[in-house]
């Protein structure tokens, strides 16, 4: 099954923000991630990403050396772990 993708060149303004919780609400995933059907480990990973998101805004435009190797590895795992990654789970919801 392939994921549906928007066929737009100009996405809505709401998608230009870096507020992860607002994007989850807009995408219809807030209930699943915070209170609903997402597995507990996925919810834990989501919460870690949201907590780290404030510093992500600072790190986004800084040299890669501002990330510790441990931070980068953890963030990557929270996103794409084959069993409990947030992106892995989101792909199953589309």
DSSP 30-84: HHHHHTSSS-HHHHHHHHHHHHHHHHHHHHHTS-GGGS-HHHHHHHHHHHH-TTT
Domain that holds residue 49: 13-93
Domain for residue 6, yes or no? no
65 domain-assigned: yes
Q: Which of the 8 DSSP states describes residue 18? A: -
pLDDT tens-digit profile, the chain (94 residues): 445 555 666 767 767 777 888 888 788 887 788 777 889 999 999 989 888 887 776 777 777 777 788 988 999 999 999 999 999 998 988 7
Q: How many structural domains comprise the chain? A: 1
Count the Cβ atoms, other than its own, within 10 Å of residue 23. 14
């Amino acid at each position: 099954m392939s994921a549906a993708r928007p066929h737009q060149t100009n996405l809505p303004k709401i998608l230009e923000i870096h507020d992860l919780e607002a994007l989850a609400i807009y995408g219809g995933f807030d209930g699943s991630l915070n209170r609903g059907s997402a597995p507990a480990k996925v919810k834990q990973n989501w919460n870690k990403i949201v907590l780290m998101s404030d510093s992500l805004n600072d790190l986004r435009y800084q040299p890669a050396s501002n990330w510790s190797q441990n931070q980068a590895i953890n963030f990557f795992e929270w996103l794409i772990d084959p069993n409990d990654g947030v992106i892995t789970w989101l792909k199953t919801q589309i």
